Copies of this chain bind each other. A is one copy, B any other.
Amino acid sequence: MYLCILIRLFTFKHITMDSSYTFLKAAIELADENISQQGGGPFGAVVVKEGKIVARAVNTVTTGNDPTAHAEVNAIRTACRTLQTFDLSGCEIYCSCEPCPMCLAAIYWARIEKIYYAGTRFDAQQAGFDDSFIYEELEKPVPERKIPICQQLGDEGAKPLRRWATTDDKTHY
């Protein structure tokens, strides 16, 4: 029995690592192709559900005039269109590079359950991207940040949220 458990554990680990390498390599290949095709930044991502890729995407910030069109965000949007849902529970995301704070939070909102990535925010920084800088900014107290943030009309701003809380006919997310 112990041998059986050992074999199952080894096989499971082997298959899992094998699959995660395959999906991560697919994301890295997308990133590389995006440079050749001048499609945008050198980033790729795939979303996987039950062992199958449900979305592949690259960064299209500059070609699509959309600063939010990172590979991960594009992959999430594509996966949601394909699966016709705003909830990617049961999915994993494979990213050629560590997700920036925007993409990481988008992954949380999408309810994705596991993140794999290859390159780091520091590799991205060396290539001229702001990922690492934005992580640092979010860690700073608000008054020390580069972009000034000003709160006004707090009572009025809370009203729609209070109204939402007491509204029955709504879709939660």
Q: Closest chain B residue to A113 by CB distance?
A: B147
Which of A5-13, A49-57, A73-81 forms contacts with chain B?
A73-81
Residue in contact with A102 in the complex, picked from B41, B106, B113, B172, CB distance below 8 Å: B106
Chain B positions within 8 Å of A107 at CB level: 147
Cα separation A67 to B152 with both chains bound (whole Å): 27
Residue in contact with A67 in the complex, picked from B88, B126, B134, CB distance below 8 Å: B88
Copies of this chain in the oligomer: 2
Whether the pair B24, A152 counts as a contact (CB closer than 8 A) is yes
Whether the pair A67, B41 counts as a contact (CB closer than 8 A) is no
Q: Closest chain B residue to A100 by CB distance?
A: B105
Chain B positions within 8 Å of A147 at CB level: 107-108, 112-115
Chain B positions within 8 Å of A137 at CB level: 108
Chain B positions within 8 Å of A87 at CB level: 67
